[in-house]
A and B are shown apart, each in its own frame.
Chain A
């Protein structure tokens, strides 16, 4: 280990003595400590091209799982399948025993909606609604879909925005914000839905380098508060600090998975080593 490297992080997701800095309430866990999401045998092909060749995944409550790998490895597709944006050809997704979706049989609309209800997605390109203000972006889901009272939704949206440093930006339109600010709105829009699982699809890949930090800080704070999340990322330093498990994918299969210290510093597989080396030493 080189002296500049950070020690492995210690996380206390449910330590009551350490109030979370963001204070965003984490949804109640029906079965604490159990797996929140179990995915087995996930397969997806686009025409002849097999993007996912039987992926297994388990995410426990409060855990941060990061997916890394070269582009085209299928990591984003895994995330999109979990949110019902892509329909897998086969595989089973199980949410804490309450919801089981078997993708090898036709999936009912209701089940897709139930999947989406449990997770919320943060996109690489933010995908904010350009014709709505920051506040309208955040309350759209809670008010229109979850039918929560508007006044309450506005109040909690304001609190969430303030906590990610966007107080005073409620009435701005997305185009008036920097990329980092837009992505923080994207994160708040996901949080406002009070999902059990947060999905991040390369949340900093579209940002100018100097704006990456502000977004990663927010995500790290959420992780520290005990939010469960799956993060697709190329930021290895972030994965090393925040992740409980790192999964390295290539060619639609999981090549290696494990603790970040192992996968990112001393991988067993040659392919993982090559990938990590190339990201750390591009020249």
Chain B
């Protein structure tokens, strides 16, 4: 197989632009919103109020029980038929945030439950309210536990953003498709896109290690 290096070189610019203006901001925005949502859902799921807990459980079940591509299509192609039209970018951010919210909620819930009960009691005994204890004592300890699984969620999300190409968002994979269609060099362009995804995920993985190291400073080794 002859590698068309000239094409690799000339397509690199557009592909990187797709990553920088599409994939990366889409992933960052969706992950941030999704995490906020996940924290709320996790706390709802842990609530003693059964109705509140049931709402959270149902949401998590629906998100985890349906394909992400179907969720995207419902929002972008489905909602217009009930009179709600959302353009590609917001549609993608909504779908990905909801998806991250469902998965990360379970991670955060498990992390909160992994903090020993004695920590809640110690917070209470020095006079803290439930909220104060949660924010100052429990969540910082839960954060350490949840970094590895949340990093997984983030890395999955980065790759899943390629699905946004199907609802017309211009991101890395859509650019690759367009260049491939034009040049008829499918293998080359898709491999090139794969390598760029891989590099982004390598950077994320090293960020995860650094964060874990930082949060591990108060734990015996």
Q: Contacts of A121 on B, CB cut-off 8 Å?
A: 121, 125
A-chain residues with CB within 8 Å of residue B124 when the two chains form the complex = 84-85, 116
Residues from 43 to 63 in B contacting A, C-beta threshold 8 Å: none
C-alpha spacing A276/B220, complex, angstroms: 39
Kindly identify, within residues 166 to 221 of chain B, every residue whose CB is under 8 Å from any CB belonging to chain A: 217-220
Chain B contact residues, majority secondary structure: helix
Report A133-179 residues with CB < 8 Å from chain B CB. Answer: 140-141, 144-146, 173-176
Nearest B residue to A140 via CB reads B126
Q: Are A129 and B125 in contact (CB under 8 A)?
A: no
Q: A131-B140, A131-B141, A145-B132 are in contact. Are A85 and B125 (CB under 8 A)?
A: yes
Residues A123 and B118 in contact, CB atoms below 8 Å apart? yes
The verdict on A127 contacting B136 (CB below 8 Å), with A85-B124, A116-B127 known, is no
List of A residues within 8 angstroms of B114 by Cβ: none
Closest residue to B132 on the A side, CB-wise?
Answer: A144
Q: How far is the CA of A259 from the CA of B129 in the complex (A)?
A: 38
Whether a CB of chain A sits under 8 angstroms from the CB of B119 is yes
Q: A116-B127, A145-B128, A146-B127 are in contact. Are A130 and B122 (CB under 8 A)?
A: no
Q: How far, in angstroms, from A129 to B125 measured CA to CA in the complex?
A: 12
Q: Is A127 a contact partner of B122 (Cβ separation < 8 A)?
A: yes
Set of chain B residues within 8 Å of A223, measured between Cβ atoms: none
Residues of A within 8 A of B128 (CB): 141, 144-145
Q: B144 an interface residue at 8 Å Cβ cutoff?
A: yes
How far, in angstroms, from A85 to B124 measured CA to CA in the complex? 8
- Residue contact B126 to A189, C-beta cutoff 8 Å: yes
Mask, B23-46, CB within 8 Å of A = 1, is 000000000000000000000000
Q: A123-B118, A144-B136 are in contact. Are A130 and B127 (CB under 8 A)?
A: no
Tally A-B pairs: CB < 8 A: 61
In contact, B126 and A145 (Cβ under 8 angstroms): yes
Q: What distance in Å separates the Cβ of B205 from its nearest Cβ neighbour in chain A?
A: 24
A125 — nearest CB in chain B belongs to which residue?
A: B118
CA distance A268 to B124 in the complex (A): 39
Chain A residues positioned under 8 Å from B116 (CB to CB): 127
CB-nearest residue of chain B to A138: B126
Complex formed: what's the CA distance from A128 to B220 in Å? 14
- Among B119, B122, B127, point to the contact of A113 (Cβ < 8 A): B127
Task: Tell me the smallest distance from the CB of B26 to a CB of chain A, in Å.
Answer: 33
> In the complex, A132→B127 CA distance in Å?
17
Interface size on B, residues (CB 8 A): 21
The smallest beta-carbon distance between A96 and chain B, in angstroms, is: 19
Q: Closest B residue to A189 by CB, please name it.
A: B126
Bound Cα distance from A83 to B127, whole angstroms? 10
- Kindly state whether residue B134 has any CB partner on chain A within 8 Å: no
CB-CB under 8 A from A176, the residues of chain B are 220
Contact pick for A131, options B129, B218, B220, CB 8 Å: B218
Asked if B16 lies at the interface with its beta carbon under 8 angstroms from chain A, I say no
A127 and B127 contacting across the interface, CB-CB below 8 Å: no
B122→A128 contact, CB < 8 A: yes
Whole-angstrom distance from the CB of B143 to the nearest CB of chain A? 9
Tell me which residues from 73 to 130 in chain B have a Cβ below 8 Å from any Cβ of chain A: 116, 118-119, 121-122, 124-129
Known contacts A140-B126, A141-B127, A145-B126: A127-B141 contact under CB 8 Å? no
Collect the chain B residues with CB atoms within 8 Å of residue A144's CB: 128, 132, 136
Q: Mark A235-275, 1 if CB is under 8 A from B, else 0.
A: 00000000000000000000000000000000000000000
Give Cα A146–Cα B132 distance, bound, in whole angstroms. 13
B residues near A120, Cβ cutoff 8 Å: 125-126
Q: Is the CB of B127 within 8 A of A193?
A: yes
Do residues A145 and B122 form an inter-chain contact, with CB atoms below 8 A? no
Known contacts A120-B125, A141-B126, A193-B127: A129-B217 contact under CB 8 Å:
no
Given contacts A123-B121, A144-B132, A145-B126, 13 further A-B contacts (CB under 8 A): A85-B124, A113-B127, A123-B122, A127-B116, A127-B118, A127-B121, A127-B122, A130-B219, A131-B144, A173-B218, A175-B220, A176-B220, A193-B127
Q: What are 30 A-B contacts with C-beta separation under 8 Å?
A: A83-B125, A85-B121, A85-B124, A113-B127, A116-B127, A117-B127, A120-B125, A120-B126, A121-B121, A121-B125, A123-B118, A123-B121, A123-B125, A125-B118, A127-B122, A128-B122, A129-B122, A129-B137, A130-B141, A131-B140, A131-B144, A140-B136, A141-B126, A141-B127, A145-B126, A145-B127, A173-B217, A174-B218, A175-B219, A176-B220
B binding-site residues for A, Cβ under 8 Å = 116, 118-119, 121-122, 124-129, 132, 136-137, 140-141, 144, 217-220
> Which residues of A pack against B, CB within 8 Å?
83-85, 113, 116-117, 120-121, 123, 125, 127-132, 140-141, 144-146, 173-176, 189, 193
